[in-house]
Amino acid sequence: MGDRYRLVVRDGPRVQRDSFASLEEALDALQASVLALSTRPERQTIDVRSRQFEPVAQVAARAELSGPERFMPSVRAGVDVRGDGSAEAWTGRLRRSVVAREDGESALAALRRVLEAATSG
C-alpha cells in the first residue's frame, strides 16, 4: 500500500476516513468536505449555567489530514468548521497552531499554502 495521506472528517457522530496517494489529492478532498460542511444552517447558542457558547465558538465539524508516514506523520493539519459556517485552519497534533491568513485568503487556501511550502523543501 505504501505511504499515503489520510483524511478523517468528523461531523457530529459521523466519521469518514479516506486515503490518498498525494498531498494534492488529499487537500482537494479536504476542501470539498469543508465546503459541503460550511453551507449548513447556523447552530444555535448553547446556554450552560453561567456561560454561553456562541455559534462561532462551537466546532461543528473537523477535517484532519495526516501522512504520508503512518506512525510519525510529517503532516498533521486540518480545518475546523465553526457553528456559524466559518472555517479555521490549523497545523500540529497536540499543540495546534492556527494558520495565519494573508489578505483575501480563505482558511483552505492558507492551509494549502503552508502545507505545500513545508513539503516542497
Q: What is the pTM of this model?
A: 0.85
Q: Which residue has the higher pLDDT, 103 or 2?
A: 103
Q: What does the pLDDT read at residue 2?
A: 59
Best CA proximity match to 33, nearest among 80, 100, 92: 80
- Report the chain's mean pLDDT, rounded to a whole number: 88
Kindly tell me if the per-residue pLDDT of 1 is higher than 60: no
H or E segment at 52? strand 51-53
* Angle at which helices 107-120 and 23-37 cross, to 10°: 170
Q: What does the pLDDT read at residue 65?
A: 95
Q: Which residue has the higher pLDDT, 47 or 84?
A: 84
What residues does each domain of the chain span?
5-120
CA atoms within 13 A on the CB side of 3: 12
> CB neighbours of 55 closer than 8 A, spacing ≥ 6?
42, 43, 44, 45, 82, 83, 84
Q: What does the pLDDT read at residue 121?
A: 64
